[in-house]
Structure 1
Amino acid sequence: MKLALCNETFHDRSLREGFRLAAEIGYTGIELAPLTLADPDAPPGPHLADVRLLSPALRAAIRTAADDAGLDVIGLHWIMAMTEGLHLTSPDPAVGAATADYLRALAELCADVGGRVLVLGSPQQRNLLPGVSLEQGTEVAADVLREVMPTFERLEITLALEPLGPAEGDFLNTAAEGVALAERVGSPACRLHLDVKAMSSEGTPIPEIIRANRDHLAHFHANDPNLLGPDMGEVQFPPIAAALQEVGYDGWVSVEAFRYEPSREELARISYANLQKAFATA
């Protein structure tokens, strides 16, 4: 299985240093959070407010830094985090147009740095606004996504819809809802992302969710409901690894943690070792 790390794990150092350490641990892919992107040799600084501000030269430098470390850039996540004026389910046409424009810009950025997947999580930019029903919000989201699909298809970028648990929001809470939205959009470039922490809130065993959605799965995040890495909490990863292998999943398994304990480096190392063991014994 191809193992990757989300780059904000090493947001305490430069991009280049983070890439080198991820590769040293054994990861072969890196997943980028747009708000972290900058000159690969610059120390960590303020987040990037708008990806359109990232110059062609810096995009090329980021891709080269990953190549130099021996890593594949697999794509982007946290794609609308900390942005302003964007919302996927807003009934305001101007907000919808701005959101569509930004998604196109993200697809261009993804292609420029060598990625192939955009993970659409960003709950604060998609939760239902007051007075907006689930059906209305879903149709607005589908309209926005249908509008941008020609760009994604042209660039061969997959938009992977990420269901998130009810603790994080009220829109796209289950894998089934993610699939329903993807089917409403109706493009081969719009598929499903699954995340262990999020699936843990569904009530259905995670291996069953994976099997039920085998035909829609484009990307996968490994973590735990305790916000640490895979097999660092109550959720046992070997049955999940076995289900991924059973359904023939050939994409990336990317570690996305939110608590970096005992340290950022140790979390990355423990997560990698746990995934290696889980897939070896699956």
Structure 2
Amino acid sequence: MKEWPWEKQCSFAGQVGYKGIEIAPFTLAENVDDISADQRAKMVQAAKNAGIQIVGLHWLLVTPKWLHFTTPDDDIRKRTWDYMNKLADFCSDLGGKVMIFGSPKQRGSVGGLTKEQATQNLIEGLKYCAPHAQERGVKILIEPLDHTQTDVVNTLAEAVEVVKAVNHPAVQTMFDFHNTADETEPFDVLIKKYFPYIKHVHVQEMDGRYLGTGNAVHDYVPGFRALKEKGYTGWVSLEVFDFTPGPETIATESMKTLQKIIAQV
């Protein structure tokens, strides 16, 4: 829906039955500094007019292109951490509460760093950003991504290790049904094991297409049952990477399939 005006995105999402919307900042501007206070206020009002909430941000570090959170380049690394703080400001200004830290290319090991060294830089950066995020009422959620996307934080277990190392309430993790290729345990087992750290959920088909094009309507039910059993009250966000069917089809069919899953829980 990024080609649509913001007002139309919000209005359509509300009409189809969504209660909230997540924002990828790069779809709005190259740099969040370019989004004025007035523009931010208008975005909030458009969401309110549509009867939906702005949940938070994802795809945090796609632009500006120089961003890299774990690079051995001290200047770029520090500037990226400072930019993360600006994203927390943007998120908070919109009323958002979570920032999903995926951005695989901007957190993976580069410049001769080992995975362990890059992970340590990730931890130090999150320690730097956590106090400001907390001040703005925002949580930074590390998203586990499989090894084909990045070499830093591939599983929920690794994400929780980072969360524990940072040791700050503003840094937690989340669960993405799609991004579990490196996991060795079923959805429900993972959710129950790491539930105290899971503050957000993403859902789409395992191949990245929208819900309803694969087996999610059956395969994800145990995971949703585990979420219900554990008393999850956060957001479930419908995500997609194949946009070719068009926003109307993706949004409508995803919602229908999610409702079918929930009906079995």
TM-score range, shorter chain: over 0.9
Match of 1:234?
215
Corresponding position of 1:28:
19
Q: Whole-Å Cα distance in 2 between the matches of residues 231 and 192 of structure 1?
A: 26
Count of residue pairs brought into register by the alignment? 263
Residue 261 to residue 246, structure 1, CA distance change in 2 (3 Å): farther
Change (3 A) 1:272 1:223: same
What is the match of residue 166 of structure 1? 147
1:1-282 matches, within 5 Å, as 10-37=1-28, 48-235=29-216, 236-260=219-243, 262-282=245-265
Contact 2:173–2:200 (8 Å) recurs in 1: yes
Q: Any conservation in 1 of the 2:44–2:95 contact (CA below 8 Å)?
A: yes
Shift of 1:231: 4.3
More deviation, 125-134/182-191: 125-134
CA–CA separation in structure 2 for the residues paired with 1:130 and 1:57: 40
Cα offsets for 1:106-157 (capped at 9, x unmatched): 0000011110000000111011114211221111111111111110111110
> What is aligned with 1:42?
none
Contact 2:47 2:54 in 1 (8 A): yes
Q: How far apart, in 1, do the equivalents of 2:5 and 2:32 lie?
A: 18
Shift of 1:69: 0.4
How much does 1:263 deviate? Answer: 2.8
Q: Post-superposition shift, 1:91?
A: 2.0
CA apart distance, 1:215: 0.5
Q: Distance in 1 between matches of 2:184 and 2:123?
A: 26
The whole-number CA distance in structure 2 between the counterparts of 1:263 and 1:237 is 24
Conservation of the 8 A alpha-carbon contact between 2:69 and 2:107: yes
Any conservation in 1 of the 2:211–2:258 contact (CA below 8 Å)?
yes
Q: 1:261 to 1:206 in 2, by over 3 A?
A: farther
User: SS of 1:199's equivalent?
Assistant: coil
Structure 1 residue 234 displacement after superposition:
3.2
Question: Structure 2 unaligned runs (5+)?
Answer: none
> Does the 8 A contact of 1:85 with 1:98 survive in 2?
no
| Gap runs ≥5 in structure 1 | 1-9, 38-47
Which segment is superposed worse, 181-190 or 224-233? 224-233
- Residue type of the partner of 1:79? L
Structure-2 separation of matches of 1:243 and 1:260: 30
- 1:249 is paired with a residue whose SS is coil
Query: What are the Cα deviations for residues 9-45 of structure 1, in whole angstroms up to 9, with x where unaligned?
Result: x1231111111111000000111111122xxxxxxxx
Aligned counterparts of 1:208 and 1:30: Cα–Cα separation in 2: 28
- TM-score, scaled relative to structure 2: 0.95
Tell me by how many angstroms 1:232 deviates.
Answer: 2.6
Output the CA distance in 2 between the equivalents of 1:87 and 1:16: 32
